[in-house]
């Protein structure tokens, strides 16, 4: 990662942002009061009693992340109201809760949480396994991501003026729906506070592939098609999206995918990978791969792939041959694989999940 985007990987970049960014105006009267807490001794002990059995051990952990925590807190003290305001403007959603806290901790069982809003600065920790997280702009994006999720949750509060959005399928709380929309909102707002190219470089990094399972939806279907602004809000985009649209179909979670059963139309003689995934391909002209057979009872058919489709890309990469195409899909299947293809010369895409 460092060789691809050395600028964004330096911890000092966040300090640079703080020094060069002027505070943006905000409507403080309509925004919640938010404290960013960095001395979370009791919270860290409660989260990880085995790691921090005493207050002294929690104190030492806080000291080890003090520099990055202070940078984030300095940013929030200076720009926090503007962040809350910008997110609300771009979302078209009002803040209803009067106050909440943001906790900066050393480790957390996940990459973060929106309630209580928690940002781990050293990494994700489950048992003895630690996945370290980059500092600097990556932490800032994580902060915007969790605050965005918290804002989207306002539509589920009884009496919310945007409560009509709560029944839209795109706000179903799954990685490729709710979380993807929150990521879009976070990226749009953060681009007003930091260099947009650097922000997108962080989001496109391998690290954020793990942190954002809905990233393919954001990059391939939302970022260029749903640009957000106070005049083109996320709420308006969601409200105008038909509940049976291609985007809604594309982002269905695996348990909702139910292929139409059409007898025993199984494909005979597929390679092992084709048998597992439910489709077979042959190499075609122009680096394309033609779907020559498909099993109506398996994952590929459920996702929307059909016989005759010409596969172009797997997660934005060009397979070298049939074997590498299957290998690329199988390696990423658990998280969902974005497959771009042509059907009747028209570009289309599906996300392939394991068959439930």
Summarised one tens digit per residue, pLDDT across range 12-60 is 445 444 444 555 655 666 899 999 998 887 888 877 787 888 888 888 8
Query: Per-residue pLDDT for 80 more than 90?
Result: yes
Residues 227 and 284 in one domain: no
169 and 290 together in one domain: no
In a domain, 264, yes or no: no
Compare 234 and 249 and report the one with higher pLDDT: 234
Predicted pLDDT at 110: 86
Confirm whether 65 is domain-assigned: yes
Quote the number of domains for the chain: 2
Residue 7 — pLDDT band, cuts 50, 70, 90?
very low
Pair 279, 187 in one domain: no
Stretch (H or E) spanning 323: helix 322-332
Q: Give pLDDT, residue 219.
A: 95
Q: Is the pLDDT of residue 349 over 90?
A: no
Q: What is the CATH number of the domain that holds 309?
A: 2.30.42.10
The tens digit of pLDDT for each residue in 114-129 reads 989 999 999 888 777 8
According to the model, what pLDDT value does residue 284 have? 84
Residue 24 or 107, more confident: 107
Among 191, 218, 249, residue at a domain's last position: 249
Q: Locate all alpha helices (DSSP H) within 191-294, ordered by sequence.
A: 196-203, 206-211, 215-217, 234-240, 246-250, 272-277
CA distance 236 to 241: 9
pTM exceeding the 0.85 threshold for the entire prediction: no
- Domain, as residue range, for 343: 272-352
240 and 333 in one domain?
Answer: no
Phi/psi for 45 (5° steps) reads -65, -40
- What pLDDT band is residue 263 in, cutting at 50, 70 and 90? very low
More confident position, 274 or 294: 294
Same domain, 221 and 293: no
Query: Do 286 and 320 fall within a single domain?
Result: yes
- The answer to whether residues 167 and 282 belong to one domain is no
Helices (H), 161-298: 178-190, 196-203, 206-211, 215-217, 234-240, 246-250, 272-277
Predicted confidence at residue 169, as pLDDT, reads 93
Mapping DSSP onto H, E and C, the string for 60-75 reads HHHHHCHHHHHHHHHH
Does the pLDDT at position 2 exceed 60?
Answer: no
Q: How far apart are CA 62 and CA 119, in angstroms?
A: 13
- The first and second tokens of residue 130, run together, are 């630690």
Answer whether residue 257 is part of any domain: no
Q: What is the pLDDT of residue 203?
A: 97
Does 122 fall in a domain? Answer: yes
Average pLDDT for the chain: 83
Please report the pLDDT score of residue 28 as a whole number.
Answer: 60
What does the pLDDT read at residue 276? 67
134-163 CB burial, b ≥16 within 10 A, e <16:
bbbbbbbbbbbbbbbbbbbbbbeeeebebe
Question: Both 302 and 336 in a single domain?
Answer: yes
């Amino acid at each position: 990662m460092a060789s691809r985007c050395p600028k964004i990987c330096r911890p000092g970049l966040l300090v640079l942002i703080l020094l060069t960014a002027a505070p943006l105006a905000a409507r403080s009267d309509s925004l919640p009061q938010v404290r960013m807490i960095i001395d979370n001794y009791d919270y860290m002990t409660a989260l990880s009693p085995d790691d921090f059995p005493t207050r002294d051990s929690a104190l030492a952990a806080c000291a080890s992340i003090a520099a990055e925590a202070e940078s984030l807190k300095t940013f929030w003290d200076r720009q926090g109201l503007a962040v809350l305001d910008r997110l609300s403007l771009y979302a078209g959603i009002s803040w209803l809760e009067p106050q909440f806290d943001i906790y900066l901790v050393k480790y957390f069982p996940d990459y973060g949480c929106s309630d209580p809003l928690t940002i781990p600065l050293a990494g994700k920790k489950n048992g003895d396994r630690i996945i370290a997280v980059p500092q600097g702009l990556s932490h800032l994006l994580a902060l915007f991501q969790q605050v965005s999720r918290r804002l989207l949750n306002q539509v589920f509060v009884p009496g919310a003026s945007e409560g009509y959005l709560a029944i839209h399928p795109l706000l179903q709380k799954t990685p490729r729906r709710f979380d993807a929309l929150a990521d879009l909102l976070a990226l749009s707002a953060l681009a007003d506070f930091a260099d947009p190219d650097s922000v997108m470089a962080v989001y496109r990094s391998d690290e954020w592939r793990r942190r954002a399972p809905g990233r393919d939806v954001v990059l391939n279907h939302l970022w260029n098609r749903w640009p957000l602004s106070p005049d083109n809000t996320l709420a308006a985009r969601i409200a105008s999206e038909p509940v049976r649209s291609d985007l809604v179909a594309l982002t269905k979670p695996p348990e909702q995918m139910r292929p139409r059963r059409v007898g025993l139309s199984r494909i005979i003689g597929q390679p092992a990978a084709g048998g597992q995934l439910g489709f077979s391909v042959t190499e075609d002209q122009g680096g394309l791969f033609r779907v020559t057979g498909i099993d109506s009872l398996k994952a590929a058919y459920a996702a929307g792939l059909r016989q005759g489709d010409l596969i172009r890309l797997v997660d934005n990469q060009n397979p070298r041959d049939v074997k590498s195409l299957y290998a690329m899909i199988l390696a990423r299947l658990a998280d969902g694989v974005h497959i771009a293809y042509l059907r009747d010369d028209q570009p289309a895409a599906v996300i392939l999940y394991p068959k439930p």
